[in-house]
Structure 1
Amino acid sequence: MSSEELKWTAVCKLGDILPGTGVCALVEGRHVAVFRIGDSGIHAIDNIDPRSGASVLSRGLVGNLGEHIVVASPLYKNHFDLRTGECLEAPEHSVRAHHVRVNGDDVLIALA
């Protein structure tokens, strides 16, 4: 599916997300964590921690593990790759990564 065929939803302004942090958005009824890395790098994954069922991943600590840009779940400290949604400690707990783009100052998400 091409970028033009996806259903894009504006979730916030780029300036609403401080670099190195995340926010939560509701996109088509799904909780999505949106992270800003540096000045303009944006990533989006599911916000639901698969071990607890709580909508908390957007509140986790962002960092690097090797070549992976990750967020650490605030509950169980599992690390999720922000590019792929893979849980590095337990791949069976991986989450979905979503399409994201910035149009002007708008952050847009399309569910994967």
Structure 2
Amino acid sequence: MSQTTWKTVCYEQDLVTNSGVVVWLDGAQVALFYLPAAGHQTLYAIDNHDPESGANVIGRGLIGSIKGDLVVAAPIYKQHYRLHDGQCVETPHQRLRVWPVRLTAGVVEVAVTRADESDIEAWAKGSNVHGAISTVEMVGTD
């Protein structure tokens, strides 16, 4: 049985309404999308890595809706990924990882299981990312 740990990744004031920010989670990049007026879940957390282009750019994507589903458009080749499950609309075999996320008393937390921690460590070793960095990179703001 896996154990879930909630890890603080940033604070509500770090989020940008209707846009993405990217946070580090034990060496992995996670894109957070804050949509308080969407009428759905307010906060989404998905992988920042775009499998089509190979770039870490999902957090810079534009938010929209396709057939009632909230999506983010990848900035380079414009694939649309559903925020609730990471599924690519145009390429059904592609999917971004989705992370459980919550906003409680101004604190943004992402859920990690033991299996997730092993996956993150393996990814970090393979991508030349060393150590856990707890900073927020603001993207999509001018």
Same fold (TM over 0.5): yes
Q: Which has the larger radius of gyration?
A: 2
Which one of 11, 14, 18 corresponds to residue 12 of structure 2?
A: 14
Q: Deviations along 1:56-86, whole A, 9 cap, x unmatched?
A: 0000001111121110000110000000000
Gaps of 5+ in 1: none
The equivalent of 1:32 in structure 2 is 30
Within 5 Å, give how 1:1-112 maps onto structure 2. Answer: 5-38=3-36, 41-111=42-112
Deviates more, 1:37-46 or 1:23-32: 37-46
CA distance in 2, matches of 1:30, 1:18: 20
The offset of 1:38, in angstroms, is 2.0
More helix by share: 2
Gaps of 5+ in 2: 117-142
Higher relative contact order (CA closer than 8 Å, sequence separation 6+): 2
Q: Please give the secondary structure, in 1, of the residue aligned with 2:99.
A: strand
More strand by share: 1
Q: Which amino acid aligns with 1:17?
A: L
Q: In angstroms, what is the RMSD of aligned CA positions?
A: 1.8
CA distance in 2, matches of 1:21, 1:110: 21
Moved over 4 A (4+): none
Provide the TM-score with structure 1 as the length reference: 0.89
CA distance in 2, matches of 1:19, 1:66: 22
Q: Percent identity?
A: 39
Q: Which amino acid aligns with 1:110?
A: A
